[in-house]
Structure 1
Amino acid sequence: MKQYDAIIIGSGQAGVPLSKKLANAGMKTLLIEKGVVGGTCINDGCTPTKTMVASARLAYLAGRCNDMGVEIKGYKVDLKQIKKRTQGIVLKSRNGAQKAIEDTANLDLVFGEARFESNHEITVKLKDGKTEQFMAAQIFINTGAATIIPKDIEGIDQIDYLTSHSILELDKVPEHLLIIGGNYIGLEFGQMFRRFGSKVTIIEKSAQLLSREDDDVAAEITNILNGEGVNILTNAKTLRFKQKEKGGITATVMVNGEEQKIKCSHVLIAIGRAPQTQALALEKAGVKTGQKGEILVNSKLETNIKGIYALGDVKGGPAFTHIAYNDYTIVYRNLIEKQNLNIRNRPVPYCMFTDPELGRIGISEKEAKAQGLNYKVATLEMSHVARAIETGDTRGFMKAIVDTKTKKILGAAIIGTEGGEIMTVLQMAMLGGITYDRIRYCVFAHPTYSESLNNLFMTLED
């Protein structure tokens, strides 16, 4: 059994930088990866999807640029070329991350699937079928999450459904893409493939898309997607699939209590993701998990077993790359720099990269109301934003929730071009305790999107 100071399971956006930092701090470190280096973000999450979203946006702009005096005739979407470009970017990121690992002293990289034998012992099944055993005083789990496949849909095991991973492998644009799930993954892929030329239908079981967001936010995103020809069915439940002999698929869907049949060529499952913990044999280490298999941690990301930590999506909670990365910084600074950091009350910004984007920070109006807060809401349509008018896309709006007494910003939702960047301005204001009345009279460069935060908070003047 090989002895290490630290073992990291999973080379995602927490595992890779943590492994290098621990090794550079003098700890003999082992990084175990069952697939390829980089985790979801690099391989089948942020990097490939946002690359393809960029191609889809160009297709959209090519189709409407005549409105702005530029005529383009006969453009076409080449999915093979889009895929080639995407894979090139993925490989560059993946190979760069792996080389950095291999070039780090005190750090070993092993490819295989890990499982616990005790709270300090790990067995790894290597790619060639052999096994190796390792031991360390400290173990860090960064195994991420995987697509949830619903078991209550009849015939789902009889069709060749797509996931957020396998859809990236398509060489041809689907004729009709049926998407089960109306949240971030489903909406990004839905708009993307609609712009590539697919007919797209989205099935959402809740009364609205983005069920956790405010009603007006969900309604605006719905209007934007509808405006591009995406068919959206809410209050809808998929009952069964039937594979046709000639290759098509028929889905039976209950919509507002009535059954209807939808014929499609492809089905994307996008109802959510679950922590990947089944293969770890956590029970042998005594590590506690929650109802969805998530690893339970304290505010410093340590499990109930001293010396075992969980970072990123595997611990549940907000499943974002930037949260996983922040997890790494907290663990590293606490262990090596002897700081006393925790994850309580940290900001959780996030973006949905439809076009236009949705940028979110803090609490929603729905949450403010549920908490009984004394708040006010500022809203500004993007049609009143000079920069949006000049660039030709006035879809969306800005919305901020503020505390009536303290005038502090409690949360914001920005739907618009560069919505994530505008949201980040408000996040920095929230972190610095800058009140909305100061932003109202702040001097911003003209003409920018953020400049219209002046006008957003002007709507709150008595």
Structure 2
Amino acid sequence: MKSQYDLIAIGAGSAGLGVSIAMKRLGFEVLLIDRYDQRIGGDCLNDGCVPSKALIHVSRMMHNARRTQPFGWTAEGATDLAAVMQYVRERQDIIRAHENAAYLREAEKLDVALGTASFVGKQEIEVRPTNGGPPERTSARNIILCTGSKPRQLDVEGIDRVNVYTNENIFTLKQLPQRLLVIGAGPIGIEMAQAFQRFGSQVTVVGSEARILDKELPEVSDLLQKRLAEEGIEFKLKSRVNAFRDAHIAEVESAEGRVELVQFDVVLVAIGRTFNYDDLNLAAAGIDLDDQGRLKLNDYLQTTNTHVFAAGDAAAGAPAGQRLFSHAAELHVSTLISNLITPGRVLDKKLTYDYFSWVTFTDPEVATFGLLDDELKKRSIGYERLEYDFAHDDRAIIEDYEYARMILFTEPKGINPFGTKILGGTIIAPNAGELVQELILAIQHKLTAGDFFNKIYPYPTASRVNKSVWVDHISDNLPGIVKKAVKWLY
């Protein structure tokens, strides 16, 4: 470890890896710090995106195998959860092969320190090695805090009696619970609820909100909940767990005050994320927290210390809002690098989520992007709402997902409907996360309805819906004078 660096990244998750590797490749001297080698890759590799999607992949294969029974194929047997988790670990290990200290030092020529970092000055830190060696001090022109977040803990009476899991340890389960109680109806809770229901658990979801995935459009949440209920998941919404009477009984109270007892074997708590900066000694660097315990940031992800920035989950306190996704870290990194390498240290690129998207990897998937109606109203931006029912799509008919829907928010129609641009929207459908990519690109590059209308899609690709919605819209909104003119020209 050198005494001086151009940049130090504290935390080797998606944000830390992204900013340190990029800056090193640009020719800067960079130090990356994390407590443990096995935690490099952060929540995404170890406890989040990678293991959860591997788990969902296996559960989807099992579910689809059972659906073949009407065609003469029969799939039977109990889920070997230990084998499932072994598959999950194998997938993680493949990715971990290029997300570890030795690889980063050799392949990327990065300086990597394994230990606990804390500030001893505005641009100086001390690293206490994990292996117990003597602490070392170093400094940098700029320091990026990429320290992530942790699962919020549930604090109710009797929880010490219960076998409680979060996303950090649910992937260590070796036996399938007969009854799984999921507390929290956000993306993590709902994704895991469906996966374990498909493995063979009886899953009950308790959520405090009136609907699941309350950040999504109400009709999208309702459609997904209906699909999940058809698979056997039980929902108790607008409810909370008051107490655990013993190791297998939860007392659940509804908003109306009705109390019922829910039996379970294992509890998964997915009620949000929290932040802990105690080890960093932020006061020594003049870094303040907001009233929610998050880093106080400006529009450029800069803390109250002008040489210290944040990225990833650690940037939840940014004025643009909170987006706790691995790809949000990617956006933060690109924003930071753009500003850090601007001549004269001029910060001119503000963080914006106007083009941001996210996917909930249930079946069907929910993919949301851009600006939705609430934000458009808040900004007094005029818009129209377009809906497309997949019951009219040949690919959906062929593969039995006619229930799917697309909802788009567009500019108000003018005289020329071909010139309409997209502002945001949502798709709920199998592989919605893939279908939506073309629409995200359309927003970023201001493509119009005419650009989709004139594109020829191979038949019957699923992404043809991105054209079909515009065919219907233009057909319904072509002014009469245009039709008369076309006929006259003919």
Q: Same fold (TM over 0.5)?
A: yes
Distance 1:281 1:50 in 2: 35
Asked if the contact 2:384–2:410 (Cα under 8 Å) also holds between the matched residues in 1, the reply is yes
| Alignment partner, residue 166 of structure 1 | 169
Asked if the contact 2:384–2:413 (Cα under 8 Å) also holds between the matched residues in 1, the reply is no
> Which deviates further from its counterpart, 266-275 or 128-137?
128-137
Distance 1:70 1:452 in 2: 32
The answer to whether structure 1 residue 289 and structure 2 residue 289 are counterparts is yes
Pick from 199, 202, 209 the counterpart of residue 202 of structure 2: 199
Pick from 150, 154, 158 the counterpart of residue 150 of structure 1: 154
> Which deviates further from its counterpart, 203-212 or 273-282?
273-282
Q: Counterparts of 1:293-442 in structure 2 under 5 Å?
A: 293-316=293-316, 317-336=322-341, 338=343, 340-344=348-352, 346-405=354-413, 407-442=420-455
SS of the residue corresponding to residue 104 of structure 2 reads helix
1:158-179 per-position Cα deviation (integer Å, ceiling 9, x unaligned): 4231101111110111111111
Q: Counterparts of 1:28-107 in structure 2 under 5 Å?
A: 28-35=29-36, 36-67=39-70, 69=71, 71-98=73-100, 99-104=102-107, 107=110
Asked if the contact 1:43–1:94 (Cα under 8 Å) also holds between the matched residues in 2, the reply is no
SS of the residue corresponding to residue 96 of structure 1 reads coil
> Which deviates further from its counterpart, 286-295 or 328-337?
328-337
The answer to whether structure 1 residue 268 and structure 2 residue 233 are counterparts is no
CA displacement at 1:352 relative to structure 2:
0.3
1:164-219 per-position Cα deviation (integer Å, ceiling 9, x unaligned): 11111101111111111111000000000000000011111111111122210111
Asked if the contact 1:249–1:266 (Cα under 8 Å) also holds between the matched residues in 2, the reply is no
Asked if the contact 1:178–1:201 (Cα under 8 Å) also holds between the matched residues in 2, the reply is yes
Pick from 459, 473, 478 the counterpart of residue 446 of structure 1: 459
Distance 2:113 2:107 in 1: 14
Asked if the contact 2:35–2:116 (Cα under 8 Å) also holds between the matched residues in 1, the reply is yes
Distance 1:211 1:345 in 2: 18
Asked if the contact 2:354–2:371 (Cα under 8 Å) also holds between the matched residues in 1, the reply is no
> Which deviates further from its counterpart, 13-22 or 317-326?
13-22
1:397-425 per-position Cα deviation (integer Å, ceiling 9, x unaligned): 11111121462211110000110111111
Asked if the contact 1:10–1:143 (Cα under 8 Å) also holds between the matched residues in 2, the reply is yes
Asked if the contact 1:25–1:336 (Cα under 8 Å) also holds between the matched residues in 2, the reply is no
Q: Counterparts of 1:179-190 in structure 2 under 5 Å?
A: 179-190=182-193
Pick from 125, 137, 143 the counterpart of residue 139 of structure 1: 143
| Alignment partner, residue 488 of structure 2 | none
The CA RMSD over aligned residues, in Å, is 2.2
SS of the residue corresponding to residue 271 of structure 1 reads coil
Distance 2:265 2:68 in 1: 30
Asked if the contact 1:378–1:459 (Cα under 8 Å) also holds between the matched residues in 2, the reply is no
The answer to whether structure 1 residue 232 and structure 2 residue 245 are counterparts is no
Asked if the contact 1:200–1:231 (Cα under 8 Å) also holds between the matched residues in 2, the reply is yes
CA displacement at 1:322 relative to structure 2:
1.1
> Which deviates further from its counterpart, 269-278 or 305-314?
269-278
Distance 1:367 1:221 in 2: 23
> Which deviates further from its counterpart, 383-392 or 168-177?
383-392
Asked if the contact 2:204–2:235 (Cα under 8 Å) also holds between the matched residues in 1, the reply is yes
Residues 276 and 347 (structure 1), Cα distance of their counterparts in 2 relative to 1, 3 Å cut: farther
Residues 453 and 19 (structure 1), Cα distance of their counterparts in 2 relative to 1, 3 Å cut: closer
Residues 313 and 70 (structure 1), Cα distance of their counterparts in 2 relative to 1, 3 Å cut: farther
SS of the residue corresponding to residue 21 of structure 1 reads helix
Asked if the contact 2:251–2:259 (Cα under 8 Å) also holds between the matched residues in 1, the reply is no
> Which one-letter code corresponds to 2:292 in the other structure?
K
Larger radius of gyration: 2
> Which deviates further from its counterpart, 366-375 or 292-301?
366-375
| Alignment partner, residue 253 of structure 2 | 253
| Alignment partner, residue 417 of structure 2 | none
| Alignment partner, residue 217 of structure 1 | 220
> Which one-letter code corresponds to 1:271 in the other structure?
I
Residues 442 and 20 (structure 1), Cα distance of their counterparts in 2 relative to 1, 3 Å cut: closer
CA displacement at 1:441 relative to structure 2:
4.6
Distance 1:303 1:206 in 2: 33
Distance 1:27 1:385 in 2: 51
| Alignment partner, residue 126 of structure 2 | 123
Overall identity of the aligned pairs, in %: 27
Moved over 6 A (4+): none
CA displacement at 1:102 relative to structure 2:
1.6
Residues 211 and 74 (structure 1), Cα distance of their counterparts in 2 relative to 1, 3 Å cut: closer
Residues 160 and 439 (structure 1), Cα distance of their counterparts in 2 relative to 1, 3 Å cut: same
Asked if the contact 1:239–1:254 (Cα under 8 Å) also holds between the matched residues in 2, the reply is no
1:300-350 per-position Cα deviation (integer Å, ceiling 9, x unaligned): 322221211111111101111111022222322433464953323552111
Distance 1:122 1:413 in 2: 44
SS of the residue corresponding to residue 97 of structure 1 reads coil
Residues 48 and 345 (structure 1), Cα distance of their counterparts in 2 relative to 1, 3 Å cut: closer
Asked if the contact 1:112–1:124 (Cα under 8 Å) also holds between the matched residues in 2, the reply is yes
Distance 1:446 1:58 in 2: 26
CA displacement at 1:73 relative to structure 2:
3.4
Q: Can you give the 5+ residue segments of structure 1 that lack an aligned partner in the other structure?
A: none
Residues 382 and 405 (structure 1), Cα distance of their counterparts in 2 relative to 1, 3 Å cut: closer
Distance 1:184 1:250 in 2: 22
> TM-score with structure 2 length normalisation?
0.88
Asked if the contact 2:237–2:254 (Cα under 8 Å) also holds between the matched residues in 1, the reply is no
CA displacement at 1:371 relative to structure 2:
4.6
> Which one-letter code corresponds to 1:378 in the other structure?
L
Distance 2:80 2:389 in 1: 35
SS of the residue corresponding to residue 192 of structure 2 reads helix
Q: Can you give the 5+ residue segments of structure 2 that lack an aligned partner in the other structure?
A: 317-321, 415-419, 478-490
Distance 2:251 2:464 in 1: 47
1:30-63 per-position Cα deviation (integer Å, ceiling 9, x unaligned): 2111232101111111111101110010011011
SS of the residue corresponding to residue 172 of structure 1 reads coil
Distance 2:378 2:302 in 1: 31
> Which one-letter code corresponds to 1:74 in the other structure?
E
> Which one-letter code corresponds to 1:297 in the other structure?
L
Residues 383 and 70 (structure 1), Cα distance of their counterparts in 2 relative to 1, 3 Å cut: farther
SS of the residue corresponding to residue 408 of structure 2 reads strand
